[in-house]
Each structure stands twice: as structure tokens, then as C-alpha cells.
Amino acid sequence: MAFSRGQESVANGGIKRYVGVGLFKCHGVNLSNKELSELYGHEIESAERSFVTEVDLNGVKTKRVSLNFTLSTEIDGKREFFNARYSLLDATRVGSNSGKSQIMDQYGRTAWITDAEFDARAIPQYASGPANITNNYRKLYTGEEYLTRNNGKEIGFLVALLNIPNVTKFVDGKPAGLVDNPADSECRLENVSKLFDGDFSEIREILSYQPENELKLMVGVRKDDQNRLWQDFFIEFPMRASTRNYNNLHDAIVDAKNNGRYPNTDFGNLDAITDLAEYVENPTTITPTAGGAAPANPWFKKPQA
């Protein structure tokens, strides 16, 4: 009989998406097609990506750099790959009401400062007292804080991945100077301007310091205006691998949602955040906005000071 016996059929549910907190290893940033092919075990045939683009920022042509971190985690005994993207603009973030610029010291601690305070290298003064920061600070590029900040419960991607400790010593819950070895807490980029020329060597070197380290990130699913589903990350709140309590993560996501960020991303049940699990779409949880474009953000100024 000239008829094949065929093979067992298995229902194909398409590409799986996930929600929840995942424990991820980082394999690099802005990898080439050759590097990705070696990592994935199959050929990447698409055109090489351009990670530096030009955008219109309130009428000013400004460079934007995308930092695509290739991550992986084990799911059901198989290593699955993900991509978390951070974006930086060649512009300083400025408070829309205060007019103050955001700064960071060498230990990743951030504050807001007036131009007069900045010119005098003064410590910013608030109603509650002086900012918890040294005068070894500089103005931040927009988006940079999400990579390197180390403000207690709010830490950056690289800080979480390298498990860099906070420099502040606390006594009875109050700041009391620096820890005994403050150099262990240094976590500020020194050559950010090179990123806008496509030079990612500084971040690649940093990633090489602890190549086996992992970090935790909240994963969600974003729906676009064509009802397509995309894997998404809550990049604003990376966590150390040892994190077990997700109360602060919950509050950060709720705050972001309340302020109009991640409008079309479903992060699952925030009142019961779990480890990474397969996503089951609930049509009532996310509704795409028309056009899918983000509104203009007035919190920037050009040029970078």
C-alpha cells in the first residue's frame, strides 16, 4: 500500500506567552545576529538591527539608544529566551513642575536639583532635610536611572544583576553615613555618551563581572492595536535574585498604571503575584489604545548638561 502511516498529531497552541516573576540569566546586550545564532542554536536570517535612532523630542532631533538585554530562564526543563529593552535619550530629565534636573552620585543614589545648586555642587535641600547623596554627582540621561539607581527598594537592572549593595548605613531605620566599604557600592556609568555612537563596550564589560548571576523581573503580555500579543517586561522594577516579597513590586506596578504607563500590558493578578506561568488571556484585562503611540513626555530638556 503506497500510503504513509503518518505520525501522531499534537495540537499546536501557537507561541506561548508568560506572566509573573521570572528568574533570568543575562547573556549580553545588543547581540549581533551571529551571537544570537550561536546562543539560540539556529541561524538568524533577519537584517542586523540598528540600536541608535533619531527621534523628535519636543521639536528637537535627539538620539535614542535601545539596550536589548538577551535573557533566559528555564521553563519545564527547557531554556527559553526573552528580550528586555531599556531606552535612553540624549537629554536630561527635568521635573515638569519643579524645573529641577535629576542627578545621581557614584553610588546610584538619585535626587533632584536646581541649576544654581548644581553649579555650586551643593547638596539639594528638601523640606525634610538634605538629600541623601554625595556631591560627586552628575545629571542623568533620560532612562539611565533604570539601569544603575540604588535607592533602597528601587534599584536598576545592572545593580540587581550584579547584586550591588546599597552604600547607605542605617541606624534605627535612619541614614547614618556610609557602609564600611563604599567602593563595593559604586554603580554609575561613566561613558554614557558613547552609547549614542553605538559603543556598548562599557555595559558589556559590566555584564562580564558576574556572568553567572541572575535577577528577577516581572513579565507581562502587551496587546497592540492589531490585537497581537507581545511579551513585555516591567523594566522599572528589577529585583535581586534573592527577592521573595513582592509587595514593593505590586506598589510600583500600580503606581505606573495609575500614571498612564503600561496601559496595554497585563501583568496578571497583582494581588497574588506568582512565579512565571503561562498566560491565559482575559479579554477584559487589557484593551489596546488607538494608534498605540506613547504621548509626548514634557520631562526632558536638551542639550544634556
Question: Model confidence over 229-255: pLDDT tens digits?
Answer: 999 999 999 999 999 999 999 999 999
Question: Model confidence over 81-121: pLDDT tens digits?
Answer: 999 999 999 999 888 788 899 999 999 999 999 999 999 99
6 within domain boundaries: no
- Residue 236, Cα to own-chain centre: how many angstroms? 5
80 within domain boundaries: yes
The whole domain housing 131 covers 18-301
Answer yes or no: is pLDDT of 72 > 50.
yes
199 within domain boundaries: yes
What secondary structure does DSSP assign to 59-126, as a single string?
TEEEEEEEEEEEEEEEETTEEEEEEEEEEEEEEEEB-TTT-PEEEEETTS-EEEE-HHHHHTTPPPEE
CB 189 within 8 A of CB 146: no
Furthest C-alpha separation in the chain: 91
2 within domain boundaries: no
Question: What HEC string does 91-108 produce?
Answer: EEEECCCCCCEEEEECCC
Total count of domains within the chain:
1
Which range has the worst mean pLDDT, 174-178, 190-194, 219-223?
174-178
∠ at Cα 246 (93, 217), nearest 5°? 60
Residue % of the chain over a pLDDT of 70: 88
270 within domain boundaries: yes
1 within domain boundaries: no
pLDDT at 14: 64
CB 92 within 8 A of CB 305: yes
Answer yes or no: is pLDDT of 152 > 90.
no
What average pLDDT does range 54-75 have in this prediction?
94
10 within domain boundaries: no
Of 164, 256, 231, 254, which Cα lies nearest the Cα of 22?
231
